[in-house]
A and B are shown apart, each in its own frame.
Chain A
């Protein structure tokens, strides 16, 4: 089997604040069309990695390239172009609280696309349907939504510009197991239908099992191991063993 080309490559990434180095020489790649899970103990720098990749934190060293282009070498305009290929789902959703759900979804389209308003509204309503929200939710404000609905609405907003890469920060945190399961299914379906590549920071073992094609494990700011779930289970690193065979892990053998 030929491996699909990588759509994003993180090379020797180094991030720190003041005297502390959070990420110390991390390299991995995200292949086209795959769902990649990023795991690691609390404080190992998963969210920092994500924020560094999407450019919210300036890295100290190393590069992030998208489709072969090093992000930091691009001009401002090219960077903006690359950013339009991303969709980011923040942990708390980060929906704009003063806009209704449909206006939230329309917002990136309004900013970046020249599109007739009627078509934009229709597309936003379709995105709402794609993430499985009822049409009645369109005019609700974020404060009126439940946690699961906020995540879905935020996902719809992340999908507004038809991104090629979707970054998810703990998408299933705070959802009940049924809701989380449905969210995993949703991500897999969306990834298949829309041809998305997904980088997902998660703590959820079920998500890893249900959604992720490959897993990257971080520890103390370094890459611990990258591979499929089966490879992870077979690893003999003590932390990985605890993680995948601990009391909260389901043993596939039953």
Chain B
């Protein structure tokens, strides 16, 4: 049973549609259903007189539905009978709105969508290559300016960033390195026992921790911890025009904001990698004693023969490059943030994913390189 409309008797030219009750947005679904249930053809509807004298409340949604009732006639307000002054003003305003061509979201041709996506990806990758080079050039340029005393040395900023990015990461990096070192040692001892060569675990642990695991774990942790932080900081500064403010003040944002961060990463990551390697070695010693039955004295003695300065150097040489790559990608993604908070989130994710990916690929390339030069 319709609650909001009643059909009056036919009267001369057309019928009367009597509207009652609350024509509000909250009742919109029922209103639409009631109107549909009248079962009037468009021609009948436009000929009808719409009596709204018994209408209780009317809001924009109700007014919209009312004007839609009489939309086929030239002057859609003419059909209304008995409107209160308040309702009449509202109806007049709503009737003045002319919904022309439906402004639906512009769509691409569905057949072309995969190609458009592919094209965007290729162009995006190309732009990324260019942008990486640009950012790298600007950071190195800023470094050169600072090195030649043409720009201030931002010591306070550097120290602050060093604390945030490196010092505060020491506990977590040391902890995961210790755990990973312990796990690797345990698994290795398990295998080497079969050959009665458990002692060789010392060689393996030392070389693996210092050449690969220490630096890789430190780099991945820093990429996750600080790469994201740098991107988010730079990104929100871009959204709030702080970046532009620096620029118009004649301060190079790369020099003032990015250089201290990248510099802290380049200087700090080798130190963090060393801390991580040592922690990993400690994990190896503990598990070696507890699980493999290798006394600490024996472990250390064996370590003297097994570990060379080269192993340590390989790890420490890789770290600054990885630090630079993390800083570079984090800055680059931060610079790409535009407008919305959604974009900020997307860029931060992308920064972390890209940094971790690049760090691992770089590690592989270094491994090939060092093998080729027999270092």
A residues with a Cβ closer than 8 A to B are 97-98, 100, 102, 109, 113-116, 119, 122-123, 125-127, 129-130, 135-136, 138-139, 141-144, 159, 161-162, 189, 192-195
Contact = CB atoms under 8 A, between A and B. Distances in A.
B28 interface: yes
Given A97-B340, A143-B339, A192-B89, A125 B29 contact: no
B99 interface: yes
Contacts of A161: 25
25 contacts: A97-B339, A98-B340, A98-B341, A98-B342, A100-B105, A102-B103, A114-B26, A115-B28, A116-B28, A116-B29, A119-B28, A123-B61, A129-B97, A130-B60, A130-B93, A135-B103, A139-B105, A141-B340, A143-B338, A143-B339, A162-B61, A192-B89, A194-B59, A194-B60, A195-B86
Given A127-B60, A138-B103, A162-B61, A193 B26 contact: no
B312 interface: no
Nearest to A195: B86
Interface string B311-354: 00000000000000000000000000011111000000000000
Contact of B64 (A100, A122, A141, A193): A122
B100 interface: yes
Contacts of A122: 64, 99
Nearest to B106: A139
B97 A97 contact: no
Q: Which range contains the number of B residues in contact with the other chain? A: 20 to 34
B339 A193 contact: no
A77 B260 CA distance: 52
B134 interface: no
B90 interface: yes
B29 A142 contact: no
Given A123-B64, A126-B99, A143-B340, 7 more contacts: A114-B26, A115-B28, A119-B28, A122-B64, A122-B99, A135-B103, A142-B340
A189 B99 CA distance: 20
A113 B86 contact: no
B99 A125 contact: yes
B94 interface: yes
Contacts of A195: 86, 90
When A and B form their complex, which 8 residue pairs have the shortest distance between CB atoms, in order from nearest?
Answer: A143-B339, A97-B340, A98-B342, A162-B59, A135-B103, A129-B97, A193-B93, A115-B28
B44 interface: no
Contact of A193 (B90, B100, B106): B90
A109 B26 CA distance: 9
A162 B60 contact: yes
Contact of A125 (B28, B65, B103): B103
B163 interface: no
B64 A162 contact: no
Contacts of B65: 119
Interface of B: 24-26, 28-29, 32, 59-61, 64-65, 86, 89-90, 93-94, 97, 99-100, 103, 105-106, 338-342
Contacts of B340: 97-98, 141-143
A98 B341 CA distance: 7
A200 to B, nearest CB: 21
Contacts of A141: 339-340
Contact of A126 (B32, B97, B100): B97
A139 B103 contact: yes
A144 B59 CA distance: 31
B351 to A, nearest CB: 18
B175 to A, nearest CB: 36
Contacts of A109: 25
B33 to A, nearest CB: 10
Contacts of B32: 116, 119
B269 to A, nearest CB: 34
Nearest to B341: A97
Nearest to B105: A139
A69 to B, nearest CB: 18
B24 A162 contact: yes
A99 to B, nearest CB: 9
Nearest to A98: B342
Contacts of A194: 59-60, 90
Contact of A144 (B25, B61, B86, B339): B339
Nearest to B345: A98
A25 B299 CA distance: 76
A10 B94 CA distance: 33
Nearest to A113: B25
B60 A142 contact: no
A100 B26 CA distance: 24
Contacts of B59: 162, 194
B102 to A, nearest CB: 8
A141 B90 CA distance: 29
